[in-house]
Amino acid sequence: MTVVIHSSDITTESAFLKRRQLIQSALLLGILPAVQSVSAEVEAPNTIEQISRYNNYYEFSTNKEVIWKLAEAFKPHPWTLTIEGEVQRPRTIAFDDLLKQFPQEERIYRLRCVEGWAMVIPWQGFSLASLIKTCNPTSRAKFVEFIGLERPTEMIGQRNKMMAWPYTEGLRIDEALHPLTLLVTGLYGHPLPNQNGAPLRLAVPWKYGFKSIKAITKIRLVEEQPVSSWMRSAPSEYGFYANVNPDVSHPRWSQRREVRIGHASKQPTLLFNGYADQVASMYQGMDLVKYF
């Protein structure tokens, strides 16, 4: 389920929802062909209040419901992103130049947290692949490592040594280059809120939410599989792939069902978070239980 809309069409939350109703009606009436970027099986996004007031962001706190307040003093500008490692053209790019160089799109993605809750979020951003390709990866680039910001003066959760900072994550190169993998710059047509990872985060919708690292400062293309923050902190509970899979339980809870924020009842968890048609081929022949 992916909706892609050019930045010139990005609107407020209320206009956004009205526009989606019109698109769905047009699909049902046959006015728009189904081969466009809009799926008829679209879920209504969560409200901006739900998205911005219920967050995991341990750099600020382990309490989801206070992060928005603790993040108010965070200063996401100026900001630069460095791309280095196994690339022929390493780059350091100012955030404002990223916005100018890469056209922004709207993508409506499911977000599934490993803790068992879920949302549907209208992100704004651009394909990670489009950025990586400008750096000319070498043949030795097998994985991509992402490094977040370390700034304990503002990110007060980093004063807690529950894990090694800065936060790091990683993807296989084909996952990073997949069309669904998004570098996020905003949501609901607005700049990304501090508590949602401003100014630049990742969205990998078929994986658990902790893979979608926030406040990215550096991207490194590497030959060896990187060790992510959660793999280092709790290796028996968190694997490198972290693909959403109802058949692979967390050691402390089942993953078979999930709670959509704003809904009272649970619903079944979908393999690859509902994106199996787009991504399952990347894991053909792999043991999805062993490589969790």
Q: Binding site for Mo-molybdopterin, residues?
A: 55, 58-59, 113, 196, 201, 212-214
Binding site: which residues? 55, 58-59, 113, 196, 201, 212-214
Q: Which residues pair with 91 in a beta bridge?
A: 83
Output the six-digit token pair for 193: 């809120």
Can you tell me which residue has the tokens 């990866």? 137
Q: Of 115, 110, 89, nearest to 219 (Cα)?
A: 89
Report angle CA 97, 131, 144 to the nearest 5 degrees: 130
Q: E-assigned strands of the chain?
A: 5-6, 80-85, 91-94, 105-112, 117-127, 143-148, 168-172, 182-187, 190-191, 201-203, 216-222, 257-260, 266-268
Report angle CA 44, 195, 187 to the nearest 5 degrees: 35
> Considering Cα of 150, then 152, then 155, then 157, what sign does the dihedral take?
positive
Q: Of 148, 219, 222, 149, nearest to 181 (Cα)?
A: 219
